[in-house]
Amino acid sequence: MNRMKQILEGNDIELLLNEVISNVFHKGLIDISDSETLSLIKVYYPQIFALKEIEILRFMALFYKDLSEPKTLKEQIFRMYQDVIYEHYNYTYTPVQVGIASGIAQNRVFSFSAPTSTGKSYLIMNLIRDCDTDVVVVVPSRALINEYYSKLCNLIPDKSVNILTFVEKVNTAHANKNVFIVTPERCREIFKYANDFNIGLFLFDEAQLSNEENLRGMYFDNIIRRCHDKFKNAKLVFAQPFIENPASQIERNNLGNEQTDFRRYKHRNVGQLYLTYDNSEFFHFGINKEIMGSRKIKCNFDPILKCIKEEGSVLFYVSKSKILSREFYQEFKPYISLCKKISDKRALDLISRIQMYTGGKTDYSRNYYSLFIDLLSYGIVVHHGSMPLEARLVVENFTKSGFCRICFATSTLEQGINMPFDIVFLDRLEASDPIGVKNLIGRAGRSSESPEFDYGCVVIRSSGMTKFRKLMNTEDRLSSKSMLDEEKLEDDDLEEIKQELNDGSYDDYLNLPQSKLQRLSDDESDQLISQLLDYLFYKNKFIPSEIVISNGERWKNMIESFEKFYAHYIRRDLSKGEISILHTAIRILVWRVEAKTFKNMCQLRYQYVSRTKERSEYKRNKWEFKLEARFTAKYQEIPNKNCFAVPLFEYGTAASSVDYDSIIYDTYDYLDKLIGFKLSDILYAAFYKFFERHQEERALVAANYIKYGTDDPKEIWLLKYGVMFEDMETLKPHIQDINEQEIVVAQSYYELPPENQKVIERFVN
């Protein structure tokens, strides 16, 4: 059999189409070859396909689409099915959604897997809205947190429902329900409030995170076990894509056999077709060689060119290094040059928001020029893990609003972020991460409400065709054994944390193991912390940026004390690479206190590295080109004794050539992955414990600066209510009172522009 050849040669198309329709009627669209066949026929024979399109959609049970009245008995059967579902659930659910909903309703623990674009998100959102208890949603990334937050705020306008991206007890005078959307690391804070919240549902989305053999995987499993044991009346739901054994979540965490169930769904709501790219030519190929044929067949058009000209969107999955080096710009320039300047006001407003957040400019001749923002004005999006989260959210909104023509992205799009494209081009193929690749190509094709068969296109390089076929035909399984149950882990630090997670001694509040807390409280730590407080406070105020930039004696002494403190914490001397990274991290940490906003932080760092003040003096003498950029360490994960001191900009780089995008990305990496994820917990615990022992007020102030970036009580409460520093300058003068119970605003608040009011409107009563 060779369906591909049959379709492209135009042989018995109606007969083949009817054969596939019969398959779909009997078992749904679960076969990948049927999905390819329908997509190809729609592309090459749209008139023939149109005659059967509504029938196909009915047999796929896509009841959310607005379909015309049934014309046959078979269609009428599905219409009756649709009516019964709506009568029971009051939603136009598909059978897959019904299966998931009933599985959740009938069990305390339910785990399921389903392909992307099967309506999982729609069902989950309704489930959260309709739940009459508090809800905790656990997701692997902050990007997913914000996607949930945005959707739920639109779905649930009721102000009596708190929707928070952290676990905090706020707005108690007005809220009767809480929805917390958190990462596994921050979910553990729920146990501090176990008696304060009535949690009836824990939802673990993208739950394949449990398979990670690292600290995150252990945290994840430990959270699951504790939620199951501590909140006896709460349901636990696990959602994951493409997993053959969703029961693994139940097995690996010993969640019992009673009131537990699992299901795997293969049904597809969107079709896909596959092409290879070789030497500027495109070729069709099929996944199942026995059905679709083993050889690739030339495609007579450029699908990417066609898509861009028809104002569709293309995702290029490329390496992060290719983005940071800007290699992607030259490699894909023929497609980039097709993108026209955007004039739509809504798109320009979104671009303006990114400029305001990052401080980037689009004038190449000025300081702070950002290619990333400049490209946006042509509908070209860059998306990767070092992009600031707020900028990512705006970019995702930009894309979903239809303004994106090309998106260059890394693996950040693998985990559940709802950004569909017409075409996904895999410039690289990660065979070691099959679930990630399948999640990524799930972005190809938009599931719409219009009465059309939706499909997407996946393009790979010709050299990867065999590997890709194998990957698509491989079943993906999660381990049924947790790292928490391993006898002995090779990594001593992980073994220590594992033991404390298992015996319950791990400190939830400070997010550190007891052995580390003891080390932070010993005599040597006390001496070092006392020195640090003397350096951090200058004339009774937190150290100003002028001292940081000057690199003077005070700064050198302070950074040396930080080195000794961190070395004591990890119980060994620091390598030169670790020292350089720690220096840069502390510099950014101190700047954060004064700068407050991300834009100000980046501009301070840019001014320091590119020597803007000195350049202006050199420029008058026409010597600017002789001034070299200052050293600043490129972000790397620490502790890591094998890392080297890698400069963000190569030695000899002209100060005037410092790239502002690189400053943005690297600063965010430091804030998100080192300061926010590791250093802040260590330093907060050290200063807070020091305050408890010695009642030294400066230590408490320092602890607040480390944790919140401020010691102002009103600002701390605003942060607890989810307000960013970027919005505080405008809002703070209009807040009369703020505490655990409520936010009380002045009358002047109502005179603010709507976009400013919106930041806290859920809490204004």
For a pLDDT cut of 90, what percent of the chain falls above it? 73
Helix (H, G, I), strand (E, B) or coil at 650: coil
Question: Do the Cβ atoms of 396 and 147 come closer than 8 Å?
Answer: yes
Contact 296, 283 (CB under 8 A): yes
Q: What is the pLDDT of residue 717?
A: 96
Burial of residue 193 (CB within 10 Å: 0-12, 13-18, 19+) is middle
Distance of CA 69 to the CA centre of its chain: 41
What is the rounded average pLDDT of the residues 115-126? 89
Superfamily, domain 99-264: P-loop containing nucleotide triphosphate hydrolases (3.40.50.300)
Q: Does domain 271-472 have CATH number 3.40.190.10?
A: no
Structure tokens at 407: 């998106």
- Compute CA 267 distance to the chain's CA centroid, rounded to the nearest angstrom: 25
Which of 196-200, 286-290, 615-619 is predicted with the least confidence, judged by mean pLDDT?
Answer: 615-619
Please write the tens of the pLDDT for every residue from 539-590: 888 888 777 667 688 889 999 999 999 999 999 999 999 999 999 999 999 8
pLDDT-based confidence at residue 258 (cuts at 50, 70, 90): confident
Task: Please give the pLDDT value at position 132.
Answer: 94
Alpha-carbon distance values, 506 to 142, 509, 514, 674 (Å): 24, 9, 6, 21
Average pLDDT, stretch 633-645? 94
The average pLDDT across 248-274 equals 92
Q: Given the DSSP bridges, would you call strands 281-285 and 297-298 parallel, antiparallel or unpaired?
A: antiparallel
Among 527, 522, 561, which residue's Cα sits nearest to residue 543? 561
Is 210 a residue whose pLDDT tops 80?
no
Residues 257-260: contacts with CB under 8 Å, at least 24 apart: 258/108, 259/107, 259/108, 259/109, 260/107, 260/108, 260/109, 260/110
Q: Residue 417's pLDDT band (boundaries 50, 70, 90)?
A: low
Residues 47, 483: Cα–Cα separation, whole Å: 55
| More confident call, 412 vs 586 | 586
More confident site: 116 or 651: 651
Q: What is the band of 622 on the pLDDT scale with cuts at 50, 70, 90?
A: low
Element (H, E) at 761: none
Q: What is the mean pLDDT of the chain?
A: 92
Q: Report d(CA 116, CA 418) in Å as an integer.
A: 9
pLDDT value of position 751: 94
Q: What is the mean pLDDT of residues 626-651?
A: 93
Percent of the chain scoring above 70 in pLDDT: 97
Closest CA to 97 of 77, 125, 136: 125
The secondary structure of residue 100, as a DSSP letter, is H
Residue ranges covered by each domain of the chain: 99-264, 271-472, 505-708, 713-763
Question: Which pLDDT belongs to residue 432?
Answer: 62
Neighbours of 449 (CB within 10 A): 11
Crossing angle (nearest 10°) for helices 576-595 and 553-570: 120
Please give the sequence-ordered ranges of beta strands (E in DSSP) within 431-490, or none if there are none: 455-461
What CA–CA distance (Å, rounded) separates 184 from 238? 13
Mean pLDDT of the region 709-730: 93
Instruction: Dig out the tokens for 668 from the structure.
Output: 């965010």
Per-residue burial over 700-724, b = 16 or more CB atoms within 10 Å of its CB, e = otherwise = bbbbbbbbbbbeeeebbbbbbbbbe
Task: With cut-offs at 50, 70 and 90, classify the pLDDT of residue 435.
Answer: confident
Is residue 675 classed exposed, middle or buried when 0-12, 13-18 and 19+ CB atoms within 10 A define those classes? buried
Tell me the per-residue pLDDT of 165-201, one tens digit each, with 9 for 90 and over.
999 999 999 999 999 999 988 898 899 888 899 999 9
**Cα distance between residue 684 and residue 38, in whole Å:** 58
Count of all residues that appear for the chain in the document:
765
Kindly state the tokens that stand for 470: 């194998």
Q: What is the pLDDT of residues 660-682, one digit of tens each?
A: 999 999 999 999 999 988 899 99
Q: What is the pLDDT of residues 55-105, one digit of tens each?
A: 999 999 999 999 999 999 999 999 999 999 999 999 999 999 999 999 999
R_g of the chain, CA atoms, integer Å: 28
Paired strand residues for 274: 285, 458
Q: Assess contact for 758 and 736: CB atoms under 8 A.
A: no
Laid out side by side, the sheet with 177-182 consists of: 161-164, 177-182, 134-138, 199-205, 235-240, 109-113, 260-264
Round to whole Å and give the CA distance between 765 and 763: 6
- CA pair distance 677, 68, nearest whole angstrom: 53
pLDDT at 209 over 90: no
Q: Which tokens is 164 given?
A: 């928070």
| Fold equal for 99-264 and 271-472 | yes
pLDDT band, very low/low/confident/very high, at 623 (cuts 50, 70, 90): low
> pLDDT band at 651, cuts 50/70/90?
very high
Structure confidence at residue 185 (pLDDT): 85
Q: Which spans in 288-444 are helix H?
A: 289-292, 303-309, 320-324, 327-331, 333-336, 345-358, 371-376, 389-400, 434-441
Residue 442 has pLDDT above 70, yes or no: yes
Q: With contact defined as beta carbons under 8 Å apart, do 734 and 746 qualify? A: yes
* Cα separations in angstroms, 642 against 162, 219, 496, 638, 646: 45, 26, 22, 10, 12
pLDDT band at 487 (very low <50, low <70, confident <90, very high): confident
User: Using an 8 Å Cβ cutoff, are 275 and 283 in contact?
Assistant: yes
Rounded to whole angstroms, how far apart are CA atoms 95 and 413?
27
According to the per-residue pLDDT averaged within each range, which of 272-276, 487-491, 541-545, 707-711 is highest?
272-276
Amino acid letter, 709 = G
Q: What is the pTM of this model?
A: 0.90
- The tokens for 315 are 């995702």
Calculate mean pLDDT across residues 346-375: 93
SS3 203: strand
Helix (H) or strand (E) holding 93: none
Confidence of residue 416 (pLDDT cuts 50, 70, 90): low
**460-472 b/e (C-beta count within 10 Å ≥ 16 → b):** bebebbeebbebb
Distance CA 358, CA 615 (A): 22
Lowest mean pLDDT among 340-354, 499-513, 658-672: 499-513
Cβ-contact 36, 287 below 8 angstroms = yes
DSSP track, 387-426? S-HHHHHHHHHHHHTT--SEEEE-GGGSSS----BSEEEE
Look up residue 612 and give its two tokens.
């803007």
312-335 burial code (b ≥16 CB/10 A, e <16): bbbbbbbbeebbbeeebbeebeeb
| Residue 758 half-sphere exposure toward CB, CA atoms < 13 A | 7
At residue 624, the pLDDT reads 65
DSSP class of residue 677 equals: I
Residue 607 confidence (pLDDT): 94
| Range of weakest confidence among 27-36, 608-617, 727-736 | 608-617
Tell me, what's the pLDDT at 491? 85
Q: Who contacts 89 (Cβ-Cβ below 8 Å, separation ≥6)?
A: 98, 101
Q: Residue 349 contacts by C-beta under 8 Å, 6 or more apart in sequence? A: none
